[in-house]
Structure 1
Amino acid sequence: MPTPTALEAGRRIATIRRTRRMTQADLARAAFVSLATIKAIERGARSPSDDTLDSIAAALAVDPSRIITGSTRTDGRVHASIPALSAAIAAYDVPADVPPPTLPQLATAVAQLTEWRLAAQYARIAEHAPRLLTRSLTALHLCTGADRPRAAELLAATARSADAVAYKFGHRDLSARLIDLMRWAAERTEDRIVQATVAYVRTETFFAARAHAQGLTALERAIDAGPSPIGRDTTAARGALHMRAAVIAGRAENPYAAKHHLAEARRLSSTLPEDSYNGTRFGPDSVKAHEVSVAVSLGRDHIQTALDVAEEWTPPDSMPAERRSGFWIELARAQVWAGRPDDAFESLKVARSIAPQHTREHPWAREDTATIRRLKRADAESLTAFTEWIGAV
């Protein structure tokens, strides 16, 4: 018999879903759960687990507490998982006493984790990553021969997804340790594309330390050491490094380097379809999104470039949620600088609708929301609600 809590949660989910003009199938796809699960939850036949509740709330662009009163916020559960993530890598060089997974089993689990990362489903990653890190490390220690490089590649991918949680939620020391683990694993892959991907992610440590000039140097060395762009995979790997180098060059106040790397990324992307992926999405649309990122990184004198790009182009739905929401967050910053707070607020709402967890934890989104609120103190109730949701009060 359905419980009152389950019935109430189901009704709220159905009501919010309809206001979003989503079908049950739409919600199932967006939340990464089965259609049968959505139907059962909406009719009150089952209560959503914390994991499922997070995914449904993210897909509906609401806080979980809007669905179940008193539910723990996503960020609280993510922060609670950090000790387990730290423990999983503390003894990375000592095999754990756990049953070793087969590489196909491990590959399936890692692919799911990567899918959650691209969709900004951080709570799901936080729940599953500690155990998967342990299993990935065990596989690497026990594999021999041709299986060992593949196990190392899977470990690097697992650590990257875990790092997305640590970095986005402000655990920078743990993020640096996970990146070191990625580098350690990449050395054992004997794969220059994997090593290029790790160099891309390592840039986070330079962003966090505001060591932008050193980060640019590190990326340029990685480009020089990377594989030649002679095929789809190697071209995508090299192009992604140029995209990243353009952004950090902007932060380093080096417009010449920023424009050079962006031009190289644009040139390489012209030979590839958008769905090229080697750990980082690369293609013409990804480069277009980075044009906005580079313009904002270069500062207020370059915001017209960001605004011009947005006038002609917006990210397609096929682009990963994390990158799409990042585009709107960066555009909002340019709009705030341009004295367009109403447009900036609309951009932030779009970012939230795409990837709520990513938007709420993004420092620029929080800072710009606070700025908009100061500029428009007597504005609509929706701005106040948004400000409270993002924690800019």
Structure 2
Amino acid sequence: MSSDPRREVGRRIAAARRARRMTQPELAAAAHLSLSMLRKVEQGSRAPGDHTLDAIADALRLDPSRLIDDPARTGGRVRATLPALSAAIAAYDIAVDAPWRPPAVLEETAAQAEAYRLGAQYTRLATVVPRLVTESIAAVHGAPEGPERQRAARLLVSVARSADAVAYKFGARDLSARLIELMRWAAPQSDDPLLCATVGYVRAEIFFVARAHQAGLRALESAIDEAPDAVCRRSTAALGALHMRAAVIAGRAGDVDAADVHLRHAERLADGVREGVYGGTAFGPASVRVHRTSVAVGLGGDHATGVLHLNGDWRPPEELPAERRSGYFIETARAQLWSGRVDRAFESLKAARHIAPQHTREHPWARETAATLRRLRRADAEALTSFAEWIGAV
């Protein structure tokens, strides 16, 4: 990390600009900044404020956290939006006379929010979800019964899920649970059984947080029983995603047999679809492989060591969402640490950070692994200590 934060920010902006084959005038125009301002920022003679940083990040199609290595600043900006998000859902089941943008505009914005979620771009996501949630709730209450209300309900489930990612990843677990209840309220109004399956998948977060793994497994198996048959790609992916998550929570519960059964179901279903995002959830052969790793790490011991041998040098493909790729490396680092592969564990943590810095920094396992590595390798001072400080492990 540079001793001068302004120069480090400028260096990252310049590197991102060149990677996109943009000139300084082109980036300045795209960000609606003066060329003089951009040059000063890249040179490190001027520190960009939040609005300037957001404008540059938007022009580069990046989350601002990739340009500024200041977790307190980026995390603080996300957390600052949580009260507004909480207020937006305080009375979601009560009709309030509030305006909302046309459905097509809301759906376009919701799709962008979903892309931010899958890309672990939480700073950008946090700036859009409070208003989007408010408008989507108003749309459900204001739309006439029938197709228009069903459309609004589908929109609200998508928006609430994106909002939940912000709350859940940044430790606002009560707010996350309330957003999941909002999803459970809206999904039946959509007249889409697959959407109810998606909500069942997201609801498992509550059980992970509470460490109520057996109850979570029962809830997921109930959602599997209620889910539509796998007759198309979307229904196959919805059912497969439920089996993936059921396998993980079974692993956390120490139920090896149940984890294996659900993984086998997920693998069979994944054989019938290409890797992709279906209904807001990534599913396919690579996703199942990532979840197999998660199951093994949850079980620990020989299971974790065995999955390292099975995976070898495999890396999640680029088409997998950033959050999922980052999670794979975080869990792999945990298994490598347990197996005594200290150097490899640190490399995995760095890979996770490169893919999704905010996701990595807010992940408790990443923080725990970094703290343990630092204790084990005090002689390997600078890089490991710098990483541990960045992630909040010291």
TM-score w.r.t. the length of structure 2 is: 0.89
AA in 1 matched with 2:173: R
* Displacement after TM superposition at 1:27 (Å): 9.1
Alpha-carbon distance between aligned partners in 2 of 1:354 and 1:35, rounded to the nearest angstrom: 28
Q: 275-284 vs 95-104, which deviates more?
A: 95-104
* Alpha-carbon separation, structure 1, partners of 2:79 and 2:108: 26
Is 2:214–2:250's contact at 8 Å kept on the other side of the alignment? yes
Partner of 1:375: 376
How far apart are residue 279 of structure 1 and its match? 1.7
Distance verdict in 2 for CA 1:378–1:22, change over 3 Å: farther
The residue number in structure 1 matching 2:105 is 105
Asked if structure 1 preserves the Cα contact closer than 8 Å seen for 2:297 and 2:331, the reply is: yes
Structure 1 unmatched runs, 5+: 1-7, 66-71
Q: 1:390 to 1:121 in 2, by over 3 A?
A: same
Q: CA deviation digits over 1:331-352, x for unaligned, max 9?
A: 0000110111111111000000
Contact kept? 1:236, 1:277, Cα under 8 Å: yes
Aligned partner of 1:179 in structure 2 is 180
Identity of aligned pairs, percent? 54
> How big is the shift at 1:21?
8.1
Task: Tell me the CA shift for residue 42 of structure 1.
Answer: 4.1
Hey, what does 2:31 align to over in structure 1?
37
Cα distance change of structure 1 residues 134 and 47 upon mapping to structure 2, 3 Å threshold:
same
Whole-Å Cα distance in 1 between the matches of residues 392 and 32 of structure 2?
Answer: 29
Number of aligned residue pairs: 373
Q: Aligned Cα RMSD in Å?
A: 2.4
1:63 is aligned with what amino acid? D
Change in Cα spacing, 1:246 to 1:113, as seen in structure 2 (3 Å) is same
Q: 2:20 aligns with which of 11, 20, 25?
A: 25
1:29-76 CA distances to partner (integer Å, 9 max, x unpaired)?
Answer: xxxx9983399564248866254577454335x5147xxxxxx51111
Output the CA distance in 1 between the equivalents of 2:56 and 2:173: 27
Amino acid at match of 2:104: P
The residue that corresponds to 1:203 in the other structure is: 204
Shift in Å, 1:309:
3.5
Shift in Å, 1:318: 1.2
Q: Distance in 2 between matches of 1:81 and 1:21?
A: 27
Counterpart of 1:265 in structure 2 is 266
User: How far apart, in 1, do the equivalents of 2:76 and 2:386 lie?
Assistant: 20
Partner deviation per Cα, 1:68-87 (whole Å, 9 max, x = no partner) = xxxx5111122221111110
**Aligned partners of 1:152 and 1:186 also within 8 Å:** yes
What is the match of residue 80 of structure 1? 80
Partners of 2:29 and 2:349 lie apart in 1 by: 29
Give the CA deviation at 1:15: 2.2
Aligned amino acid, residue 209 of structure 2 = A
Q: Unmatched 5+ residue regions in structure 2?
A: 42-47
Residues 230 and 236 of structure 2 are in contact (CA less than 8 Å); yes or no, is this contact kept in structure 1?
yes
Q: CA shift at 1:118, angstroms?
A: 0.5
Query: SS of 1:281's equivalent?
Result: strand
Taking a change above 3 Å as real, the CA distance of residues 26 and 210 of structure 1, as seen in their structure-2 partners, is: farther
Please, what TM-score do these two structures have when normalized by structure 1?
0.89
Give the deviation of 1:281 after TM superposition.
Answer: 0.6
Decide whether the 8 Å contact of 2:9 with 2:69 is kept in 1. Answer: no
Paired letter, 1:239: G
Structure 1 match to 2:65: 58
